[in-house]
Structure 1
């Protein structure tokens, strides 16, 4: 186990959906620690509970039982308003659906979290453009989402997740829409973000082209963590 400080502490997380005869338990008492300065992968078959778990870690979905501490804050003890503010300030999200705003340019979309945090629109857009440059798509900065390819939209979504320099970045299949070279570039950037002592990156992925970049791989099966190590287990 690494000596890096714990960024996220997951304590006995249970998640159930439905009620009565239709009650389904998706997560079965998960305990884990995510360390700062590391790239942690969450790997498993569809339906194993990965997206549910990262949604709970990110403060989007309340657990049925258990708690999550993110950089020392017990997030489910916060008021609704404080939790929203904490997410805005601390967490960057990269989901499979890009959720770009169709009427905003790529640079404006990338700057959205800064506007939400109170920054003026022109400064936020400038910083969005700077982040697009890091992702090698500055030439697309003034285009609307419908004018971009799927891979370009994905990179705009990644720029948006990173623009406010969040301490925790949560990614759901960030390389799914990308060719091998673009996927590698995105992972290199995420790695650059992750390898800072007071930050952490969690990536849900099926993409075995990038497994070698992980510092740690957690494998989920049927709502439980069945493997925790530097490499994928041999089956």
Structure 2
């Protein structure tokens, strides 16, 4: 086990007017270990999604640094950051963000296409990972033909297909029933156990809290709990 992600003094402010802004994150310091499944919990509006978006290189911090496997990602140029994300980061969005004109297998394969993999090989690998997520029979369907839970699993497949070293998830079980949610989290736990990979999951789903190696709670943009067990209030 080693440190995969080091977050140092992350501050994030969003402008309200030309003169005023609101501070969402207040100097977050955090290290995420490889080989562990780390949960990020907290009330809506506490700053969880903002933090994981900064870790994933999607949202720039107002202040602070993010180091991923030895690379300070906000020292990179825009092009270098895009390429770094393609090679190293898988992000599971809460809103799925599937491409409506592509089939489920093609959507799952999008990161492979971005890395130059041929369409036919990408589709075959997309079908294989969708099979692992128990929706092999949906491979040829378009997103509008899928249920919310099926779309969520396609989004999960897309985040995992290129075997990224960092996997960041925003409520991956929100649209799933208990059985499907458990299978997805079991898969993410299996992914997390790799010694060269770190997995962070934002979740409110207390059905799967027992799978976490570490639970971090955020309140009002500050870390208030960090440990194996849930904080007492839960």
* 3-state SS of 2:199 partner: strand
Name the residue aligned to 1:181: 179
TM-score by length of 2: 0.97
Partner of 1:206: 204
Aligned-partner Cα distance in 2 for 1:100–1:48: 27
Give the TM-score of the pair, scaled to structure 1.
Answer: 0.97
Alignment of 1:47-196 (within 5 A): 47-196=45-194
- What RMSD in Å do the two structures reach over aligned CA positions? 0.9
Q: Which runs of 4+ in 1 moved over 6 A?
A: none
Number of aligned positions between the proteins: 232
The match for 1:15 is 12
Cα offset, 1:122, TM superposition? 0.8
In structure 1, stretches of 5+ residues that fail to align are none
Distance 2:144 2:23 in 1: 39
Question: Which string of whole-angstrom CA distances, capped at 9 and with x for unpartnered residues, describes residues 90-113 of structure 1?
Answer: 000101111111111111111011
What is the alpha-carbon distance in structure 2 between the residues aligned to residue 149 and residue 36 of structure 1? 33
What SS class does the counterpart of residue 166 from structure 1 fall into? Answer: coil
**Counterpart-to-counterpart distance in 1, 2:60 and 2:139:** 36
**SS of the counterpart of 2:87?**
helix
- C-alpha separation in 2, matches of 1:144 and 1:86: 29
Give 2:220's aligned residue. Answer: 222
SS in 2 for 1:96: coil
User: Unmatched 5+ residue regions in structure 2?
Assistant: none
CA distance in 2, matches of 1:178, 1:231: 24
Shift of 1:20: 5.8
1:28 alignment counterpart: 26
